[in-house]
Chains A and B, each alone.
Chain A
Amino acid sequence: MSKKTSKNGDLNVVGKPFRKVDARAKCVGQTKFADDIFLPRMLYCKMLRSHEPHALIKKIDTSKAEKLPGVIAILTGKELPIPYGILPVSQDEHALCIDKVRFIGDPVAAVAAVDEDVAFDAMNLIVVEYVRLNTISTIEEALLIEEPRIHEYGDGGNVHKKVSLEFGDVQQGFRDADLIREDTFFYEGNTHLPMEQHAAVAHFDADGKLTLWSSTQTPHYVHRALAKVLEMPASHIRVIATPNGGGFGGKSDPFNHEIVVAKLAIMTGRPVKVTLTREEVFYCHRGRHPVLMKVKTGVKKNGAITGMHFQSFLDGGAYGSYGVASTFYTGALQTVTYDVPRYKFEGVRCFTNKPPCGPKRGHGTPQPRYALEVHLDKIAEQLKLDPVEIRRQHLVKPNSLTANYLRIGSMGLGTCIDKVVKGSDWKNKFSGWDRPNRKLPEGKGIGIACSSYICGAGLPIYWNSMPQSGVQLRLDRQGGVCVMCGSIDIGQGSDSILAYIVAEVLGIDPFDIRVVTADTDLTPVDLGSYSSRVTLMTGNAAIQAAERARELLVIAVAEKLGVPIENLSLAERRVFDVENPETGVSFAEAVVLAESKFGTIGTVGSYSPPPSPGKYKGAGVGPSPAYSYSASVAEVDVDSATGIVTVERIWIAHDIGKSINPMLVMGQVEGSVYMGLGEILMEEMTYRTNRNVVHKFPSMLEYKSPTTMEMCDVKTYLIEDADPNGPFGAKEVGQGPLLPVPPAVANAVYDAVGVRIDEVPITPEKVLKALREKARGRDPRYGPLSVPTVSWPEPLKVLTPAEGGDGKEMPRVAVHS
C-alpha cells in the first residue's frame, strides 16, 4: 500500500493531536444517539422476556394485552420463523422464541404501543405457559449432561464446538524440554457495560422501504440479517448505525430487538422504537466467555519454549453468537509473542442456559493471555529466571511465520518491554523470587506481562472475495470534500481517522471534510467496528481513494500551470509547485480544473487483507495484516488483613506502528488499561447455579466496575515502528493494551504476598483464601485444580514452517503412519 503524501514527505495531519471531528457535538449534547431519535407517530416497543432459564413454550396468550387501549400491535415468534446469527455456522437465534426459551431474558413476545408505559403494561398482560426443562449451568454440566439439549446442532449433547489442531510434533517438543510445567486457570465471564443501552428505531415508508437506526457496531451484518429474517430484498432496507455510546464488542451481533422493531414498523406503518433497560442489556450480553484453561509447556533451562499444549473450555451461554470464532481465538495468538516451535490447541465451547457470550474487547484472547503470562511467571520462578528476561530473550522475530502460520510483520515488543522495565524501575523493585530479601516491603508487589493483538481479522465473517472496507470520496467544485465509508464510530474515533487521512493526502484541513459513515444507502460497505480492523482497513481504503482524487487534481493543475506533475504538492489547502511554491492554485480551484477536465470528481478506494499463509481448516482465525504488541508492569498493594488488592500504577508500552493521532491512541491505551483493571479486580457475570440460573446482579450498582476511586495511575509509552501493511504504518490500539493488564496484576499480587490467584477476578475473598492456605503450609494458591475429561477429536495435524510445512493440513492417513 502506497503512503504517498505531500511532496516534501512531511506529515501535516497524521501524527498530530487534532481533536476528533465530532468531539464538540458530543460535548454540547448535539450528537444523536439511537434513543435520541423521535419521529412523528412513533410507537414504543417492549419485549416480554422469559423468566424461565430453559423451557418449552406451550402457549402464548396475548388476548388481554391486545385489548389494552393504546396497544397497536403484538408480535410473537411464529411471525418471524427464520433463524439468524452472526456466523453462517451458527444460525441459531430467532427474533422471538418460537417453541423454546434458553435463558432468563430470552425474548418471547413484543408489543408496540402509543407510549412506553402502555407497552410495558401490555407486555405484562401477555401470559406464557412453559414446560420447564432441566438446566445446564456450567461447563462441567454441559460436558456431562447430554439431554436435554439446549440446541439440536453442534458437536453432540450440549457441546457447541470442539476443535483440535497440532502444529508440529508437540510430544517431541516436550521430549526436548528441560522442564515441563502444567497449570490450570479460570477466567470468569464479564460484560461490556457500555454506558448507552442498546436502542433501535425502525421506519417503513409508504413506498415500501425500511429504515433502521440502531446502536450497532456492525450495520452491514444487521443489514444482511434483516434481509434474511424479514424476507425482503436488501436493496429495500437501509441500516443507519447511530454513533454508539460505547460498544466494546457488545453491539456486534444482529439483535432480536432490531428485527422486532423492523417487523413491527412494517406491521403498523408507523415508526417503532425500542430502548433496552439496563437489565435487558445484561441479558443481551455477548460478553467475555468464562474460560477454564490448562496449559502445558516444555522449556529449556534458559526459558526457551520447546512445545506447548493449550486447552480451553468455554462457557458459551445459550446461543452461538461469535462463539466458534471465540473458541479458535482462545488458541490462536499464543504463538505471536514468544517463539513456540511446536504447538497443540484443543478447545471446546459448551451451551449453557445463560445469556450468550461473544466478543468483548480482545475477543477470546484475554483469557489465554492471562493464563499464558501467569504460567510463564511460574516457569520463570521454577527456573530461577528473571520474568523480564524469560520474555525478552525468546521473542518472535519480525517478518517471520509462526508455527500456526501467522505472518508477523513489524514487532516492537522488545522495545515495549524495555520501556516499562526502565520506567517502572523494575530492577530496584523486583526481588528475583527471593522472598526473605525483598526489595519492596511485604504487601507491595510488582509484576510484568506482555501481549499481542490482531489489526483486523484476515477473513470476513461470511465467505466472500470482496474488499473488507470501501471508501468513496466526492469532491465538489466549491472545494468541499465528502468521505463516505460504512465504518461506524463507537467512540474510538473512526470518523476522525477518515478525515485525518484524507486531509493528509489532499493537503487540506481535517475540519474541511464532511464525514458520512455507517449508512447502507449512502456508504460503501465496511464490515464494522470489530477485531481492531477499522484504522488499518478503512485507513488503507481512504488512502487509495484520496490518492486517486489527488491524481486527478494534479493532472489538471499541472496542465493549467504548465509544470510537471511530479513537481506538484498538496498542502495548506493549495496545490503548488514545490520548486516554486508561489506558483499554484487553491484546493477549490484545483477541483474546478479537475472537474472541468474530467467531469464530476468522485473516487473510490478499497482494502482487502493479504492472503493468509495458513491453508488448514481453522486457519481463518488468527491471521491479520499486522499485529500490535503491548508490555505492562503493574505495581500493587495487597492488604493481607482484608484481601483487598489496590493497583497503584500501571506502566504500559504499546507498539502502535504509527499514531494517526497520538492523543486518541493515548485514550485507547488508558481505556484499555481501565477495562483490564476492571476485569482482573472486580467485574464478573455470575449466576446462581441452582436450577434457576438467575443472573446475580443485572444492574450497574452491583455489577462492580472501576470508578475514579479504583482507577489507577497509568504511565504510557507509544512505540512507533511503522508496519508496512498499516496506513502510514499504523496498527491497532483499541483492544491490545487491555491484554497484558490482568496477568501483570496477578503476577504483582504474587510478588506482594506470595499467593497465586489463578482465577479472574482477583477478589478479596480469593486472596484471603489463598493466604489462609499459605499460612497452613499448603499450596498458596486459589484456582481450579483440574479440567474435565473430554474426548477430543483426533487433531488436525499441520507441519510447521520450520518442518517444511506448506500451511496445509497433513492427510489423515499420514498422521497415523
Chain B
Amino acid sequence: MTDKARIKFNLNGEPAEVAFAPHKTLLEVLREDLGLTGTKHGCELGECGTCTILVDGRAVLSCLMLGLDAEGHDVKTVEGMADGAELHPLQDTFANLGAAQCGYCSPGFLLVAEELLKKNPRPTRDEIKEALSGNLCRCTGYIKIYEAVELAAARMRGEEMQLPEEAVYGLK
C-alpha cells in the first residue's frame, strides 16, 4: 500500500485536513476518508453528474478530480448547503415538491442548481434545463426538479411564488 498524502482545504466553510491514498478521487476522499456520504456516485466515469460538488463555487464532477487537487480550495458538498438548521431554499423546495424521489441524484442536482442560481437568479425554464443537462435522474422526468428550482429562485429573490395547482393536482 502507498503512503498517504495529506491536504488542507476548506470544506463546507470549515478548515479541513485529511490523509488518504494519493491516487484517490475527491469523491472517494469525501466519502471514505471524511465520512461525507452525501455525495453519491452513479458511474465514476464522469457520465451521470451524480457526484457533483462545488469547488470554489463551480460545479465539478468529484469522480474526475483527484483528492490532491483540492489542496487549498473551497469545497462544498450537499452537507454544507444548509445554513445551520435552516435548509437551503433549494433543499426545502426539492423536499416539499417531490423533486427528490429516490433522492440518489438529488445532491448533484442541488449543487448544480445552487451554482446556477448564484450566476443567474432569474433563470428561464430553458436555462434551467441547460444547466441541469449534465445530470441524469431516472425517477422524476426532471419536471418536479425544474419546478423546485423555479420556486427556490423566486424565494431567494424575496418574491412570493405559489406553484400552479396543476403541478400538484394535475390539470382539471
Contact = CB atoms under 8 A, between A and B. Distances in A.
Interface of B: 1, 21, 31-32, 35-45, 47-48, 50, 77-79, 81-82, 87, 91-92, 94-98, 100-107, 110, 128-130, 132-144, 146, 166-172
Nearest to A664: B98
Contacts of B37: 29, 32-33, 35-36, 38
A804 B106 CA distance: 55
Contact of B171 (A118, A491, A715): A715
A80 to B, nearest CB: 28
Contact of B91 (A27, A38, A194): A27
A38 B35 contact: yes
Contacts of B134: 707
Contacts of B138: 192-195, 246, 248, 671, 674-675, 705
Among all A-B residue pairs, the 9 with the closest Cβ atoms? A29-B38, A26-B103, A491-B102, A245-B104, A674-B141, A23-B95, A36-B37, A491-B101, A670-B141
A356 B138 CA distance: 21
Contact of A19 (B38, B41, B44, B98): B98
Interface residues of A, number: 68
A476 interface: no
Contact of A667 (B45, B79, B144, B166): B144
B143 to A, nearest CB: 5
B50 A670 contact: no
Nearest to B128: A708
Interface string A709-743: 10100111110000000000000000000000000
B102 A244 contact: yes
A663 B168 contact: yes
Contacts of B129: 708-709, 711
A193 B48 CA distance: 11
B140 A243 contact: no
A493 to B, nearest CB: 8
Contact of A195 (B39, B95, B102, B170): B102
A423 interface: yes
A666 B43 contact: no
A26, A423, A492: which has the most chain B beta carbons within 10 Å? Answer: A26
A27 B144 contact: no
Contacts of B142: 674, 708, 711
A805 interface: no
A699 B43 CA distance: 8
B98 A663 contact: yes
A391 interface: no
A70 interface: yes
Interface string A245-283: 111100000000000000000000000000001100000
Contact of B103 (A31, A277, A718): A31
A30 B77 CA distance: 12
B131 to A, nearest CB: 9
7 contacts: A24-B91, A35-B41, A195-B138, A197-B41, A670-B141, A699-B45, A715-B171
Nearest to B46: A701
A170 interface: no
B138 to A, nearest CB: 5
A247, A423, A667, A708: which has the most chain B beta carbons within 10 Å? Answer: A708
A196 interface: yes
Given A493-B101, A701-B43, 10 more contacts: A20-B95, A27-B91, A28-B81, A31-B103, A196-B102, A197-B41, A246-B104, A491-B104, A671-B139, A708-B133
